[in-house]
Chain A
Amino acid sequence: MKICLLSWEFPPRIVGGIARHVLGLAKALARERHNVCVVTLDFPGLPDYEEVEGIAVYRTKTEVGHPNFLTWSFLFNHFLEKQLAEANKKFDFDIIHIHDWLVAPSGIGFKHFLDKPLVCTMHSTEHGRTGLHNPDSYMIDGMEWWACYEAMRIIVTSNSMKGEVCGHFQVSSDKVDVIPNAIEAMKYEVQTDRWGVKRRFGVGDHEKLVLYVGRLVPQKGVEYLIRAVPRISRRLPEAKFVIVGEGWMRQHLEWLADQTGQRWRVRFTGFISDEELVALTKSADVMVVPSVYEPFGIVALEAMAAGVPIVASRVGGLAEVIEHDKTGVYIYPRSLDSVAWGVERVLSDPGYRDWIVKNALEAVKNRFSWQTVARQTIDVYKRVLGKG
């Protein structure tokens, strides 16, 4: 099958989970001997075209810009459309698969111009991310509805997202397939100098590393972890906190960390490389995912594969990934007491910790492989093409 994946982010242009999802899916589809092409936006220092592990990657320059985000997004869609047309001359795609609303205009245009079937993965919704609060967010909401309407089939990564998409956009549940995210568990099967890594991030040999990985934006709930620092450290004086990621809230969160009176316990790293992230994750004593909105929560899977116990809010897709008291520990979103309780639960009982880690590793290997995701996605494509 000749497949075009259209996404505004693709490594190393990594924003959230979409880049990792598209890379994992593309590689797995290529391993299944399909012709896979990714059309995405450019990134400084990278060529306009390259082949990455059997995937043809086109990186598109947006030659004309505009300060307004939505205007810019329509402009880059124009250039993506042009790039799609060029790529199609070479590949003659069977299917086009868009990821989120940002690339919907070019994907939909392509569908109509060339009469190609369109599949859309909805990774999240504006309604869930920020709520509908200004004209821009209403427009994004409209674009998401439009993408769902135009797509022949919609893929979501959790039942929670299926409910959100069907409920909010009035989409028939028959049109929506749930295919979970996955990870490359192999990535975590590397030797790590745990103590050396901890020391590099300011965590001593006798101290416990509490890790957060994600964007620094309200929906991730990281402020609840930072505000819980005094409660956690009262129970676990050896706790240190490493906050990995970037986002517009960083300044506010650093201020919040100052307000705890225990700023010395909290380290913000900003964006770090994939290799460093693997090493850091493997070196953590616990990972906290305090999200208030989470369509899937791929970071939870990464911790599970790395052999790190996970403490996560019971929201959205996280509630489907983790089994409480078996593969992780659930906490209430927005509750400082609950965050502190969860971290203590895991760190104060080594036997319990080991049991959680062992179960989580098995669950990840059995349920969340990219090969499974690729095969399920191919089944969706076959249905769309009338071959299923």
Chain B
Amino acid sequence: MSGYPPVSPPPELPEEFRFLCMLHNVGATRAERGLTVEEIAKWTNKELSELQEYLVKLQKLGYIQSFNKEGFDRYYVSVTGIRKVLTLYS
């Protein structure tokens, strides 16, 4: 390796980032507006398995937070996640 990174093609918007934007745009940006996985699936028209994968990854990165209410996990975009989403639109 020459020590110079290769010229890479422009990256595509990562799918999990698109998903984060969707969650933000539907209004799940605070605990009281948190959504269950089933509700998110309806809003985003995505498979539950795909959603679970995104949610785990985004939660690990700190862009999503969750809490349990009446036996159901509810998810919403964290402040860091909101800022992340907004970088796309400005």
Residues of A within 8 A of B (CB): 9, 13-16, 18, 43-45, 62-69, 71-72, 102, 215-218, 223, 226-227, 230-231, 234, 245-249, 251-252, 256, 259-262, 270-271, 336
Contacts and interface: CB of A to CB of B under 8 A. Distances in A.
Contact of B29 (A14, A44, A64): A44
5 contacts: A15-B89, A215-B87, A227-B5, A230-B5, A251-B11
B5 A68 contact: no
A101 to B, nearest CB: 10
Most buried by A among B7, B25, B28, B29: B25
A16 B82 CA distance: 13
Contact of B22 (A67, A227, A234): A67
A65 B4 contact: no
Contact of A16 (B7, B8, B84, B90): B90
A251 B6 contact: no
Nearest to A62: B27
B44 A102 contact: no
A256 B13 contact: no
Contacts of B54: none
A45 B82 CA distance: 13
Contacts of A44: 29-30, 79, 82
Contacts of B10: 218
Interface of B: 1, 3-8, 10-11, 13-14, 17, 21-22, 25-30, 43-44, 79-80, 82-84, 86-90
A71 B30 CA distance: 20
A247 B11 CA distance: 12
A247 B26 contact: no
Nearest to B79: A44
A280 to B, nearest CB: 17
A270 B82 CA distance: 13
Given A9-B86, A251-B14, A66 B26 contact: yes
A45 B76 CA distance: 14
A16 B88 CA distance: 10
A259 B28 CA distance: 36
A271 B83 contact: yes
A226 B5 contact: yes
Given A13-B82, A44-B30, A69-B21, 17 more contacts: A9-B86, A9-B90, A13-B86, A15-B83, A15-B86, A43-B79, A44-B29, A65-B27, A67-B43, A216-B87, A217-B88, A227-B5, A245-B87, A246-B83, A248-B87, A252-B8, A261-B3
